[in-house]
Amino acid sequence: MMIQTMLQTAAIGLLFVGFCADAAEPTPLINPAKHVNAPEAQQLLADKKIWVLDIRTPEEYKSGHLAGATNVNFMAVDFEHNLAKLDKKQAFLVYCASGNRSTRALPVLKKLEFQTIYHLDGGFNAWEKAGLPVKK
């Protein structure tokens, strides 16, 4: 009787462990963004293998932006639709004014399966504070 109880307990334990092992497998993150500061972003741009995505309003963009930046307004109702038009296989550096909107945009970029995303921490403000060139 004792052996039977021990076998039943062991079987239940193995089932539980097997169930938990399957349930505990992490879901892989799709294209996690790499966070960079302004000097690191400048180096990425110097390598010229990256597209620049400014997600500020058109008015903010016109007042100054990173050279070669494409403006896709985060506040626009068709933001996701406009992002979907971009080449997802390209590497992108994404920024806004302070990093708040661009951080909120990262899940959208991931959802759309962009391959390589760099996030400019501190946004355009950090870029200017570092004394880096601005296109007007």
- If we measure between CA atoms, which residue out of 20, 110, 9, 135 comes closest to residue 94? 110
Residue 42 phi/psi, 5° resolution? Answer: -60, -40
**Count of CB atoms within 10 A of residue 79's CB?**
16
Q: Distance (Å, rounded) from C-alpha 26 to C-alpha 72?
A: 33
Q: What is the pLDDT of residue 31?
A: 56
Q: What is the pLDDT of residue 49?
A: 85
Q: What is the pLDDT of residue 48?
A: 78
Q: What is the pLDDT of residue 32?
A: 81
Q: What is the pLDDT of residue 79?
A: 98
Q: Determine, yes or no, domain membership for 27.
A: no
Q: Determine, yes or no, domain membership for 86.
A: yes
Total domains present in the chain: 1
CATH of residue 123: 3.40.250.10
Active site residues: 96
Q: What domain range includes position 48?
A: 34-129
Supply the DSSP symbol for 53.
Answer: E
Q: Determine, yes or no, domain membership for 50.
A: yes
Q: Determine, yes or no, domain membership for 75.
A: yes
Q: What is the dihedral of CA 40, 46, 47, 48, to 10 degrees?
A: 120
C-alpha distances in angstroms, 43 versus 36, 37, 132? 10, 10, 11
Q: Determine, yes or no, domain membership for 5.
A: no
Cβ distance 114 to 88 under 8 Å?
yes
What is the mean pLDDT for each group of 10 consecutive residues in the chain (136 residues)?
47 40 42 91 91 98 97 98 96 97 96 96 98 96
Taking phi over 0 as left and psi of -120 to 50 as alpha, with beta for the rest, 9 belongs to alpha
Cβ distance 45 to 67 under 8 Å?
yes
Q: Determine, yes or no, domain membership for 90.
A: yes
Q: Determine, yes or no, domain membership for 80.
A: yes
Q: What is the pLDDT of residue 1?
A: 52
Q: What is the pLDDT of residue 113?
A: 95
Q: Determine, yes or no, domain membership for 74.
A: yes
Q: Which residues of 92-119 are buried (b: 16+ CB within 10 A; e: fewer)?
A: bbbbbbebebbbebbeebeeeebebbbb
